[in-house]
């Protein structure tokens, strides 16, 4: 959205409206009423689609969370309201809190690795010569462009217990115990593969944005810092970081939201196993809902997850809106 | 900025390591797809598929319903992207060019919609679609993918339209065009890059979507409405240890996106970062 590097936005919305009011008389504006209605007519399809296609599932999730809806009710089309029972059940269940804690830790680990990795790769792209930069960019794009399901399939193959190249490599390095290690047999090793997969697939986006942002910093700033005898770290903390603060804040929040919502990679690697120990909140809601046919309970988990997301989003949008004002 | 030779070569060395890290999984997928079976399951990995075979691609393309899935994926993707382009062009013109009450609210809603937690709402989408007797059909996929792509498309096109100087439109209107005519004749042709990068993004979103199709279109067999991501996961289960075929299937599935991306590299990166959305 409003990341520093935005090459498209030439005018901020504020400027656009200011412009419009200055040049008030429009040639052939048509009858007053119609031209007043024009923007709303143009927006109508978009608004209708959003209300129907996004608003409805949201509302449905909310209603569902207050219902006792299991396989029987689903098949017989019965609506049984049960008030806050689903919420009470979840908020007092250790499974829910374990999954929540796991999700939060999962988001933290991923986002920290993605942001640090992406920043470093972006800095490197900026430092490289033209040819090497192009070569590395192609590598990054390959990882970035891979569809999530294909990514997960490839990682399953890389970490295959018998023929996986990772186990062979670790064995060659001298860690012979890993020769036939089954990565999907324990919680931590499964998470290791999932996190590696997500970080691998997410760094390119951050790196490209970071690189684009770096190219907007005037060289004089670096030179001045260098004259003052600043080293690489000092240059980063006193020139780069302050200049790209909006980028860092914006991208971090986007990644938090994306990783928190992430379903495909977590599910495709090992369906939340072994023994449901790698279920994050979206997967937990899915397994409770589709797997165990506890749709009402799943609705409550979904609503609680959406609430947590909303908190992150409010924070993110405040930053974005502030940025818009500053432009 | 002057860099020392040593600094540059150090950076190059790191770049090579990173290149291997990012490109290797993709290379390993593609190369496994071409390897003979005894090379795939050899004790020492074969890094270059010297005696290449197309056998695995043939296994993948001859798998039941492969071509149905390809067709379904293309139909769903193209239809949903086109629908969202039409709706978004109208809306983004209003947002970029007109002054009206509720403009800011609309922008805020679009930004929120862009973050919509589809992954978490799959259960309710499933119930809605089931209650309307539309399970195992392509129609709900088209409709919901259109919605997933719409906010980003509006947001990005808004930027592109705002970048077209108003004066161009105004002079066309002085020359006797109506406002819609001025838009179609002047602004629309200048939107080509914007339309391209938004449709690329839409294509990727729809082509990749997995959670929704996973709950909506479970039915297998002839005439099913599954798409390639779902096919790929079931292929992996069905073909189990046949890694050659599985990697060939993954390659075939990823190929259109990889080609699009590499082909449109500049625009893709610019457009994607402009909208800051990947899925």
Give residue-wise pLDDT tens across range A214-272: 988 888 888 888 888 888 888 898 889 988 988 898 899 999 999 999 999 999 999 99
Q: pLDDT by residue (tens digit) across B206-216?
A: 999 999 999 99
Summarize the confidence of residues A120-132 as an average pLDDT: 93
Number of neighbours of residue A175 by Cβ within 10 angstroms: 12
Q: Is the pTM of this model over 0.90?
A: no
Summarize the confidence of residues A39-49 as an average pLDDT: 95
Q: Which backbone phi and psi does A81 adopt, to 5 degrees? A: -80, 140
In this predicted model, which residue has the larger pLDDT, A42 or B237? A42
Is the confidence at residue A10, as pLDDT, over 60?
A: no
Q: Check B232 against A149: CB less than 8 A apart.
A: yes
Is the confidence at residue A132, as pLDDT, over 70?
A: yes
First to last CA, chain A: 14
Summarize the confidence of residues B59-84 as an average pLDDT: 94
A101 to chain B nearest CA, in Å?
17
Interface of B with A in 180-239 (CB under 8 A): 194, 204, 207-208, 210-211, 215, 229, 232-233, 236
Contacts of B144 in chain A (CB under 8 A): 53
Mean pLDDT of chain A: 87
Contacts of B32 in chain A (CB under 8 A): 157
Is the confidence at residue B279, as pLDDT, over 80?
A: no
Does residue B21 sit at the A interface (CB-CB below 8 Å)?
A: yes
- Cα A239–chain centre separation: 27
Q: Check A168 against B144: CB less than 8 A apart.
A: no
A18 to chain B nearest CA, in Å?
9
* Per-residue tokens: A31: 């009858």
Is the confidence at residue A27, as pLDDT, over 70?
A: no
Mean pLDDT of chain B: 88
Which of B114, B116, B124 lies nearest to residue A299, judging by beta carbons? B124
B223 to chain A nearest CA, in Å?
23
Is the confidence at residue B149, as pLDDT, over 60?
A: yes
Q: pLDDT by residue (tens digit) across B90-108?
A: 999 999 988 899 998 998 8
Which of A54, A56, A142 lies nearest to residue B23, judging by beta carbons? A142
Is the confidence at residue A193, as pLDDT, over 50?
A: yes
pLDDT of amino acid B169: 85
Number of neighbours of residue B220 by Cβ within 10 angstroms: 13
Number of neighbours of residue B78 by Cβ within 10 angstroms: 16
Q: pLDDT by residue (tens digit) across A59-108?
A: 999 999 999 999 999 989 889 999 999 999 999 999 999 999 999 999 99
Is the confidence at residue A185, as pLDDT, over 90?
A: yes
Where do the H-state alpha helices sit in chain B? 5-34, 37-40, 55-61, 66-97, 103-114, 122-131, 138-163, 166-174, 179-182, 188-190, 192-208, 211-216, 228-239, 243-263, 265-275
As a whole number of angstroms, the distance between CA A136 and CA A146 comes to 16
Q: Check B18 against A162: CB less than 8 A apart.
A: no
β-strand partners of A67: A81
Spatial contact of B199 and B152, defined as CB atoms under 8 Å apart: no
Summarize the confidence of residues B213-235 as an average pLDDT: 89
Does residue B119 sit at the A interface (CB-CB below 8 Å)?
A: yes
**In three state form, how does the secondary structure of chain A look?**
CCCCCCCCCCCCHHHHHHHHHHCCCCCCCCCHHHHHHHHHHHHHHHHHHHHHHHHHHHHHHHHHCCECCCHHHHHHCCCCECCCHHHHHHHCCHHHHHHHHHHHHHHHHHHHHHHHHHHHHHHHHHHCCHHHHHHHHHHHHHHHHCCHHHHHHHHHHHCCCCCCHHHHHHHHCCCHHHCCCCHHHCHHHHHHHHHHHHHHHHHHHHHHHHHHHHCCCCHHHHHHHHHCCCCHHHHHHHHHHHHCHHHHHHHHHHHHHHHHHCCHHHHHHHCCCCCCCCCCHHHHHHHHHHHCCCHHHHHHHHHHHHHHHHHHHHHHHHHHHHHHHHC
Q: How confident is the model at residue A196 (pLDDT cuts 50, 70, 90)?
A: very high
pLDDT of amino acid A13: 40
As a whole number of angstroms, the distance between CA B134 and CA B266 comes to 40
pLDDT of amino acid B277: 43
Is the confidence at residue A8, as pLDDT, over 50?
A: no
Contacts of B8 in chain A (CB under 8 A): 127, 129
Does residue B30 sit at the A interface (CB-CB below 8 Å)?
A: no
Q: What is this model's ipTM?
A: 0.89
pLDDT of amino acid A19: 43
pLDDT of amino acid B79: 97
pLDDT of amino acid B236: 86
Does residue B267 sit at the A interface (CB-CB below 8 Å)?
A: no
Is the confidence at residue A25, as pLDDT, over 70?
A: no
């Amino acid at each position: 959205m409003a990341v520093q590097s935005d090459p498209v936005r030439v005018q901020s919305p504020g400027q656009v409206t200011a412009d419009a009011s200055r040049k008030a008389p429009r040639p052939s504006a048509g009858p007053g009423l119609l031209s007043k209605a024009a923007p709303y007519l143009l927006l109508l399809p978009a608004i209708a689609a959003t209300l129907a296609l996004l608003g409805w599932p949201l509302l449905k999730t909310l209603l569902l969370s207050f219902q006792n809806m299991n396989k029987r009710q689903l098949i017989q089309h019965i609506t049984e309201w049960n008030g806050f029972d689903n919420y009470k059940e979840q908020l007092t269940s250790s499974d829910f809190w374990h999954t929540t804690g796991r999700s939060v830790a999962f988001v933290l680990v991923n986002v920290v690795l993605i942001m640090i990795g992406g920043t470093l790769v972006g800095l490197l792209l900026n430092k490289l010569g033209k040819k090497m930069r192009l070569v590395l960019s192609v590598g990054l794009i390959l990882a970035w462009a891979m569809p999530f399901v294909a990514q997960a399939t490839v990682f399953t193959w890389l970490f295959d217990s018998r023929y996986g190249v990772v186990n062979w490599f670790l064995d060659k390095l001298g860690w012979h115990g890993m020769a036939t290690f089954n990565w999907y047999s324990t919680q931590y090793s499964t998470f290791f593969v999932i996190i590696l997969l997500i970080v691998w697939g997410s760094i390119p986006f951050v790196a490209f944005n970071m690189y684009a942002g770096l190219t907007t910093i005037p060289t004089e700033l670096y030179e001045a810092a260098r004259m003052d005898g600043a080293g690489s770290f000092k240059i980063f903390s006193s020139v780069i970081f302050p200049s790209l603060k909006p980028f860092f804040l914006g991208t971090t929040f986007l990644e938090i939201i994306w990783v928190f919502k992430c379903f495909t990679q977590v599910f495709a690697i090992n369906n939340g196993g072994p023994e449901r120990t790698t279920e994050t909140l979206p997967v937990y809601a899915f397994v409770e809902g589709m797997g165990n046919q506890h749709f009402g309970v799943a609705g409550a988990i979904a609503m609680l997850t959406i609430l947590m997301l909303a908190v992150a989003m409010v924070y993110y949008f405040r930053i974005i809106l502030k940025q818009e004002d500053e432009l | 900025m002057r860099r020392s030779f040593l600094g540059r070569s150090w950076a190059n060395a790191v770049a090579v390591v990173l290149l291997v890290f990012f490109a290797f999984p993709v290379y390993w997928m593609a190369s496994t797809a071409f390897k003979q079976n005894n090379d795939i399951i050899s004790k020492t990995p074969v890094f270059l598929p010297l005696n290449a075979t197309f056998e695995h691609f043939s296994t993948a393309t001859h798998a039941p319903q492969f071509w149905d899935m390809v067709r379904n994926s293309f139909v769903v993707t193209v239809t949903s992207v086109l629908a969202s382009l039409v709706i978004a062009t109208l809306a983004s013109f209003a947002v970029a060019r007109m002054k009206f009450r509720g403009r800011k609210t609309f922008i805020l809603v679009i930004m929120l919609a862009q973050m919509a937690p589809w992954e978490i709402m799959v259960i309710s989408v499933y119930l809605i679609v089931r209650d309307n007797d539309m399970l195992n059909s392509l129609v709900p996929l088209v409709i919901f993918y259109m919605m997933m792509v719409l906010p980003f498309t509006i947001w990005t096109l808004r930027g592109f339209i705002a970048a077209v100087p108003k004066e161009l439109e105004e002079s066309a209107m002085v020359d006797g065009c109506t406002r819609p005519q001025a838009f179609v004749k002047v602004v629309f042709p200048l939107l080509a890059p914007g339309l391209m990068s938004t449709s690329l993004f839409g294509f990727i979103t729809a082509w990749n979507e997995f959670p929704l199709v996973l709950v909506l279109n479970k039915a297998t067999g002839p005439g099913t409405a599954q798409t390639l991501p779902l096919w790929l996961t079931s292929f992996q289960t069905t073909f189990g240890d046949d890694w050659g075929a599985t990697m060939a299937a993954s390659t075939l599935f990823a190929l259109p996106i990889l080609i699009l991306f590499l082909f449109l590299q500049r625009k893709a990166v610019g457009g994607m970062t402009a909208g800051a959305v990947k899925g």
